[in-house]
Each structure stands twice: as C-alpha cells, then as structure tokens.
Structure 1
Amino acid sequence: MVSLNRVVMNRSSATWLNALPLQSMELAEISGKWGQRLTAKSYERFKYPEHDICKGPYLDKQGRARQFDLILANQVWEHLDRPFTALCHVHDMLRDGGYFWIAVPFYLPFHAAPNDCSRWSARGLKNLLIEAGFPEEHIRAEEWGNRAAALRNLEPDWPPKYDPATDDLGNDPAFPICAWALAQKRD
C-alpha cells in the first residue's frame, strides 16, 4: 500500500537522493526503511528503542560519533521528545559534505508510536535545520498537500491508500500534509 500522504514526497525525495553519488556513500537510517530503496556503498539502520537518537549520536567502539555520508529519517522526528537535540546528534554523525534527508508530517492525525509530539512545515523544517548548524544555502525543503488529501486523512481507515484514478496530487500551499528536506553539512 502506498499512502496518499507520501506519493509526492517519495517522488521528489527519490529524485534528490538519486542525484547524489550513492554508490560511494555510507548511509545510515534512523528507524524507517526508506534507505533500502537506495543503492549505497553501505547501509545501516538504527532502530528505536535499541538506539535513541535523542540520547546521543551512535558511537563507534572507541566511543566517538559514527560518521556517515548520508543519514535518513522518514516520519520519525514527529515522535521524538527532543527533536532539536536529536538533530544536533545527526549533525555530529555526518562527515563534512554529508547529507541529512528528513521527512515529517504536518497535517495528519495524531499517531503515537510511542509518542506524537511535533509537526513542521517546509519553512519550519528549514529553520530547525539551520538552528542545528546546517547552512541555509545548503538546505532544500518542500511540502505537499491539498484540501482533498486533508479530508482523506480524516477518514477512519487511516492512512489513506493512494488511488491514482481519484486522488489529486496537485499542491495547495494552504494545506500542507507533509514536508521534507535535504540538508548538507558544511564546516
């Protein structure tokens, strides 16, 4: 099942990420499974609760922050109690020139797994990334949504399954459903 909420985000993000030199990149993912779609030099998944990005960066055997070229977080940040702190840990885990891709909901029902804490628009996501140390000129952020999709998100059978015959993928900036960003670390 493909969620209506993720169709545009998935297409846009795949374009951005596949433009990177993935085959030479070491990739990490915080929970989620989005990175399994990508062909990278290596892929490692850090899953909650074994790994809690709010508590610190993932460490190597010497106790230093693990280093990656690309870190992904798909539909995770809204569940974090300390999203800014977690973002600072991600920044510490990126090599200079490395990328962080993040996707978050904006207008979606409450969905605790185990918590549901925050929402960001594309502008809010960009501001959060800037505050965590990513240079503004190296952040790309988008959002998508429309009134029809917003209504579909109120139906009892959530999340709404994408139906290409009936679902409108047009964007209405007044009704963002989700936001995503790609930020590059530059020291």
Structure 2
Amino acid sequence: MIASTAASSKRKPVSALVHRVVRKVQVLSGYDPRNWLRIRQIEAFTAFLNADDRRLRPVLEISPGWNKQWQALCADYHAVDYPDFDICIDRLPAAFDTVIADQVLEHVSDPVAAVRNIHAMLKPDGWAMIATPFLFRVHARPHDYTRWTEAGLRQLLVKGGFAESDIHASSWGNKACAKAHIGGSVRSYGLWRDLSNDEEYPMMVWAFARKRAA
C-alpha cells in the first residue's frame, strides 16, 4: 500500500509536466482549446459587455458554475448558484444593469418563470444575455429539459416579459461541428476548424434582450 502510494505521488508531477509541455506545443502550433461550438457566442457576449462600458456596471450571473469567464471581465460582478438560488422561483431584491444566463435555461424546469425572474432583476434599460445550446447532446446538471431555435428563444423571452422589438437573437453552427459532437464529448476548436455558419445546423443560440423603461 505504501509503495503504491509513493508510485502514485511520483506519477502526478510527471503527468503535470507532460500536460504543460503538451499545452505549450499546442499553443505554439496554433491549437485553440476553446469550445468549438461556443466561440462565436463568447465573442458576441464579450463584444456586448465591452460596448457602452456594460462590464463596468453591476452584472449578475445565474449559476456560472466552473465558468469564470464573465467574472474575470466584469468589474462589478455578482453571482447566484443553484440549488441555493433557483432562478425559477427566486429573485434578488437588488436590480442589475445586466443579467447573464449562459448555458442555464436548458437545465431549468420552468424557463418562462426563469425569464420572468431575470426580467424582474433588471434595471430599466438593462439587458439580459442568454445563451443555450440547440444541436447538442443531453447533459443533465442535474437535469436537461429544453432546446430552442432563434425563433423559439425569442418567443420564450417575449413570454418572460421582454418586448419582441427589444430582443436580438443569433445562432451559430455547421455540419462539421454537429458531426464532431455526435456521440462524443465537447470538442475544442483545435487547429483551424470550420467557423462558417449554416443556419440549418445551429449548435448554439443566444439573445440580448432589453428591459424597456416604463
């Protein structure tokens, strides 16, 4: 048992070193480790937060989980996590300029109620940033309920209290990305994968929705 533990402890540093070397080679060769299906959505979110200094004003993210991307970008960042905070039934008393639900709504049992609560936590003229996958495997965390097209996500936001004219929906995907994800895990962008968009194969759908001032 002691010998086995010692051998295991020796393997860990070697494994970490190999991982660092592999990552360095990947970077030098142009390998991109970002999630292929999310690249365009992340670019859109980043540009939106940078516009009009939105990233400097109060931002709330719903259930960010392990993802720290928006926390790193936003100066006045707040987050709530399930199960302590259930977006289907809970609201904070504070209001925010931006509320982010990134890869969240597919996991909630009542998405209309979730959007209503997001709408309620926005200041007048504040924005909701919503992203959710469409052509993607079931990934229960702890549940996986729903998928939306651009039109479907827009309609969900209308039901949740946003005016249709204040909703800007987009999507990205193509056959190559869809094929890479069928039966497999999330794939990295890797070496120059196809980023062309085919509207018939949306992998990721997102929207920006403004809460109209009274």
- For normalisation by structure 2, the TM-score amounts to 0.79
Once the two structures are superposed, residues 81-124 of structure 1 have per-residue CA deviations (whole angstroms, 9 ceiling, x without a partner) of 11110110111111111110010000000000000000111111
Any conservation in 2 of the 1:22–1:38 contact (CA below 8 Å)? no
* Higher Cα Rg, which structure: 2
Any conservation in 1 of the 2:116–2:160 contact (CA below 8 Å)? yes
Counterpart CA distance in 1 for 2:74 and 2:113 is 29
Counterpart CA distance in 2 for 1:84 and 1:164 is 39
Once the two structures are superposed, residues 38-66 of structure 1 have per-residue CA deviations (whole angstroms, 9 ceiling, x without a partner) of 233x11110111111111212xxxxxx32
Residue 62 (structure 1) aligns with? none
Equivalent position amino acid for 2:189 in 1: Y
* RMSD after superposition: 1.4
Counterpart CA distance in 2 for 1:107 and 1:131 is 23
Q: Which of 66, 77, 85 matches 1:51? A: 85
Percent same amino acid among aligned pairs? 37
Residue 46 (structure 2) aligns with? 14
1:151 counterpart SS class: helix
**Is 1:4–2:66 an aligned residue pair?**
no
Residue 61 (structure 1) aligns with? none
Q: Which of 143, 158, 161 matches 1:115? A: 143
The one of the two structures with greater contact order (alpha-carbon pairs below 8 A, sep at least 6) is 1
Summarize the Cα distance change of 1:95–1:162 in structure 2 as closer, same or farther, 3 Å threshold. same
**Is 1:159–2:186 an aligned residue pair?**
yes
Q: Higher helix fraction: Structure 1 or Structure 2?
A: 2
- For normalisation by structure 1, the TM-score amounts to 0.90
1:20 counterpart SS class: helix
Q: Specify every segment of 5 or more residues in structure 1 that has no aligned partner in the other structure, as ranges.
A: 59-64
Q: Specify every segment of 5 or more residues in structure 2 that has no aligned partner in the other structure, as ranges.
A: 1-32
Equivalent position amino acid for 1:126 in 2: R
Counterpart CA distance in 1 for 2:186 and 2:55 is 33
**Structural mapping, 1:32-111, within 5 Å:** 32=64, 33-40=68-75, 42-58=76-92, 65-111=93-139
**Is 1:26–2:58 an aligned residue pair?**
yes
Counterpart CA distance in 1 for 2:55 and 2:37 is 29
Any conservation in 1 of the 2:105–2:132 contact (CA below 8 Å)? yes
2:119 counterpart SS class: helix
